[in-house]
Amino acid sequence: MFSKILIANRGEIAVRIIRACKELGIKTVAVYSDVDGDSLHVQYADEAICIGPASSKDSYLNIPSIISAAEIADVEAIHPGYGFLAENAHFAEICKSCQIEFIGPSPEIIRLMGNKSEALQTMKKAGLPIMPGSDGIIKDKEEAVEVAKKIGYPVMIKASAGGGGKGMRIAHNDGKLVSLLMTAQAEANAAFGNSDIYIEKYLEEPKHVEFQMLGDNFGNLIHLGERDCTVQRRHQKLIEESPAPAVTDELRAKMGDMAVKGAKQVNYTNAGTMEFLLDKNGRFYFMEMNTRLQVEHPVTELVTGVDIVKEQIKIAAGEKLQYTQDSIEQRGCAIECRINAEDSKNEFLPSPGVITGYHSPGGPGIRVDSYVYNSYSVQPFYDSLISKLIVLAEDRVQAIERMQRALDEYIINGIKTTIDFHKLVFSDPAFQEGAISTDFVENLLKKE
């Protein structure tokens, strides 16, 4: 087992990793920008090293600074969390060349699955159901129109190197396709330094279902069941739950088998997520694989009892997976709300500033993963996620009731947050019945 790990991240995920390390008896090193000195991850770690100014590119994306900090602190491993460098194959390669263990899959797997068009072709070879679309990268607008006419409108334009909703557009006709193609390419190039795009059939009224994977270095690979991530805004997940309301035991077994099959196709190791779109007739299609820890991992932890972060660390340290597929069982229902520093009544604009009052909810079945506190100054330079509120109950009805109680108890003053938005979602009959698709939030906000 490692004796010291550096966490190449900030915010709630850095705190989460530090907690796992402490329970494993591992010393931790936090890195931080010069505006993050008061963050909880800096206070909780055994050591903390400033790696640059506020801008992410000068600090949390600054690979030389992070590697220098790791060498100064003499760590054996780096945990990237999610976001920033978590899916950066080059960073994983540099860690390897510096004889520092990267807590995640190999650079080769990150690179392969990070290229969405290559990942689709790889999963197609593995026998997974794939959404009809282009055979690789679209070369020009003529090819785009030809593909769209072949598979039928509407179609989704997607950035090959994309994620987080960047470089994605929906087109319903030739004219829109041609104009949105250039927009998507420009956005993809700005976000990822890669303007390559591909096209696939756009599934109307789908649900977003993903499977949590764990694989060790000895060929053992399992899934920990599914999560429903259908509540989204502009392709950004807002609420996640496990188990997924629309997934039956039979469908779970079928999708889970496919998820494992796909992950084994690339000899996947460590934690990852196989993501699918599910239509109203129970047909599912592989969408992408995320080669990292997910924001929503806590709901899976609560229903399975598996500490995913600890398992990541153990696998990276060379230990065998202690679980088998037969030992994994989902118990109860867990739901997570992403609490963002945003004004949900004003186009979800970011709302940085000083928190003048803070009280987190408590009681049975409540978990809060956060890094903020009373008088903390939420910075404008980073993602607006400030807290994850997670509940566990015996069933979905009770989980919704528990979440409503927890949201009522949650007090964050001084800045705008999405707490009221979540209250609106949980009071909506369609959400309560699980009768929603990925356009649920858009339709809900139209009613307001």
Active site residues: 292
- Coil vs helix vs strand at 181: helix
| Beta strand 169-171 pairing with 155-159 | antiparallel
Q: What DSSP designation does 271 have?
A: E
For CA atoms 73, 79, 80, 81, give the dihedral sign.
Answer: negative
Least Cα distance to 400 among 304, 322, 328, 335 occurs for: 335
d(CA 371, CA 187): 31
Least Cα distance to 32 among 57, 54, 4 occurs for: 54
Residue 23 burial by CB count (10 A; 0-12/13-18/19+): exposed, middle or buried?
A: exposed
Whether the CB-CB separation of 356 and 414 falls below 8 Å is answered with yes
Residue 129 burial by CB count (10 A; 0-12/13-18/19+): exposed, middle or buried?
A: middle
Whether the CB-CB separation of 387 and 406 falls below 8 Å is answered with no
Two structure tokens written together for 152: 């039928």
Beta bridge partners of 232: 237
- Backbone φ and ψ for 440, nearest 5 degrees, come out as -60, -50
- Backbone φ and ψ for 165, nearest 5 degrees, come out as 85, 0
d(CA 26, CA 198): 43
Cα of first residue to Cα of last residue in the chain, in angstroms, is: 53
